């Protein structure tokens, strides 16, 4: 008995990888394929194919299939370009975690910064919200605190307390007065701690010992005989 059924026509799927989605659909249609699907949930990131270019077909190119068999186009979303988060003001560990969670590499540098607390980030090499290639390296700078500048305690011994105060404040040093008995004239600097010529960090308070002036007590008095 001879069958009268018509044999289903098959054809090799053309290679449309690298074609724009619309161009690929047109080529497949012109080749006679009638059941081509584009499912956005199956789109993939790709560093090889630009956004909206076809990565591959499923079934793959050159596979013989019936003209009405379902063919899926797998389309590129382009490179995965994560958005750089804002890590300014974060601790180093928090900033590194936030950046690594986005698939980014982190390079940490340290530097002094007058207005940022020690251990906090004050700089990032890419502005927050910028999109970069996954795996890009972001440089962050972490504060070492305010830079400690050393200055020399000026020579204020034998000078007036006004001169001493002005000289210390000019070096950005603190000033604390302590009065003591002394033969030096009143309001004259006897000594200081730390002493003149010592190197100290700016902001250090210098204790300045100041004369009350010579004693006015002549040492005379009356005794009593028994």
pLDDT at residue number 221: 41
Tell me the pLDDT band of 6, cut-offs 50, 70 and 90.
low
The answer, yes or no, to whether residue 225 has pLDDT greater than 70, is no
- For 124-144, the DSSP string reads ESS-TT-B--TT-EEEEEEE-
Query: CB under 8 Å to 22, separation ≥6 — which residues?
Result: none
Does residue 111 sit in helix, strand or coil? strand
Structural domains in the chain plus CATH codes? 11-78 (3.30.10.20), 92-143 (3.30.10.20), 150-211 (3.30.10.20)
Question: pLDDT tens digits, residue range 28-76?
Answer: 999 999 999 999 999 998 889 998 999 999 999 999 999 999 999 999 9
Reported residue count of the chain is: 226
Does residue 53 sit in helix, strand or coil? strand
Ranking 4-13, 80-89, 121-130 by mean pLDDT, the lowest is: 4-13
Model's pTM, two decimal places? Answer: 0.50
Both tokens of 51, joined, read 């956004």
Question: pLDDT tens digits, residue range 100-158?
Answer: 999 999 999 999 999 999 999 999 999 999 989 889 999 999 999 988 889 999 999 99
Query: CB under 8 Å to 168, separation ≥6 — which residues?
Result: 153, 154, 156, 174, 175, 206, 208
């Amino acid at each position: 008995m001879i069958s009268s059924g018509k044999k289903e026509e098959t054809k090799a799927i053309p290679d449309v990888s690298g074609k724009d989605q619309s161009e690929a659909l047109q080529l497949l249609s012109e080749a006679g394929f009638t059941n081509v699907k584009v499912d956005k949930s199956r789109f993939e990131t790709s560093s090889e194919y630009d956004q909206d270019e076809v990565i591959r077909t499923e079934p793959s190119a050159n596979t013989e299939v019936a003209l009405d068999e379902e063919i899926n186009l797998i389309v590129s979303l382009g490179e995965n370009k994560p958005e750089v988060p804002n890590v300014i003001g974060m601790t180093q560990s928090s900033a590194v975690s936030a950046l690594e969670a986005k698939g980014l590499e982190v390079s940490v540098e340290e530097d002094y910064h007058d207005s940022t607390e020690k251990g906090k980030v004050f700089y990032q090499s890419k502005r927050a919200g910028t999109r970069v290639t996954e795996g890009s390296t972001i440089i962050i700078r972490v504060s070492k605190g305010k830079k400690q500048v050393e200055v020399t305690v000026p020579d204020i011994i034998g000078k007036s307390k006004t001169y001493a105060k002005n000289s210390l404040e000019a070096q950005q040093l603190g000033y604390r007065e302590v009065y003591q008995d002394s033969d030096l004239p009143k309001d004259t600097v006897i000594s200081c701690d730390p002493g003149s010529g010592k190197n100290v960090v700016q902001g250090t308070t210098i204790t300045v010992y100041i004369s009350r002036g010579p004693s006015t007590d002549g040492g005379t008095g009356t005794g009593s005989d028994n």
